[in-house]
Amino acid sequence: MLVDDSYPPYSYVSNGYLYGIYVEQVKLAARQLSDHYQVTLEAIPWKRGVAAMESGEAFALMPPYIHKDKRPYIWPYSVSLGEEAVVAFCNEGVTLDNILGRKPSSRPINIGINAGFLILDDELASARQKGLIKIWENKDTTSNIRKLAKNRLDCYLNDRLSTQMGIESLQSEFKTLDISQFREDRVVLTRTAHIGYTKENGDRFPYKLDFIEKMNKALQTVQRKSAR
């Protein structure tokens, strides 16, 4: 199972080890499957993970949002691992509110996202087509926050908690960096995260449906226990 290597606090690598809220959840669930399956989690840059799913090389990827049309090669998805709020953090004086009402002659707003992420709502997608915003894909959360701090980006779109943690982790690098220097402009969308499985069945993954059923049951058991 491929896992995003740079998406704290949900999944990330630190000192060569894979950690995260979703990682721990899946590890606990995998223990319940140990009589039937050995589950290996492999950290990978998100964009490479998506490419591996598209080529049919990988069995599963964690933790995508559901995109049936844009990623038809991923199906089905697991039960939800958690809900995330994608928000726009912007520098002072910049807003994405009423973006479609912005004058076409205005300078496009530069927006950073993590490479391979599909997180634009309909309004921002339309604004992109009209040239009102420009999307820049950067390696990860840290790369985007650095560029936002240096005003090379006007806004950054990502999960709220992941961005806040990224800002805090960079405070030692930028002595004046503080979360209050970036304004949370608006919530772009709210989505649930999942394990996404290859659409391929056949000879390569004859165990696919059985594994998904068992993993879903195990995840639900883990979630019930943690909610107590």
| pLDDT (0 to 100) of residue 179 | 63
Same domain, 133 and 158: yes
Instruction: Tell which residue, 141, 9, 100, has the closest CA to residue 63.
Output: 9
Q: What's the distance, Cα to Cα, between the start and end of the chain in Å?
A: 28
pLDDT per residue as tens digits for the range 94-132: 999 999 999 989 999 999 999 999 999 999 999 999 999
For residue 107, what are the domain limits? 84-190
Same domain, 35 and 117: no
Same domain, 30 and 48: yes
| pLDDT of 184 over the 80 cut | yes
**Helix residue spans in the chain (DSSP H):** 21-32, 46-54, 122-129, 141-149, 160-169, 208-226
Q: Is 156 helix (H, G, I), strand (E, B) or coil?
A: strand
- Is the pTM value of this prediction over 0.75? yes
Q: What's the domain count of the chain?
A: 2
Same domain, 180 and 198: no
The dihedral region occupied by 212, where left means phi > 0, alpha psi between -120 and 50, and beta the remainder, is alpha
Same domain, 124 and 183: yes
Same domain, 174 and 112: yes
Same domain, 212 and 136: no
| pLDDT (0 to 100) of residue 178 | 62
| pLDDT of 24 over the 80 cut | yes
Same domain, 99 and 182: yes
Same domain, 207 and 179: no
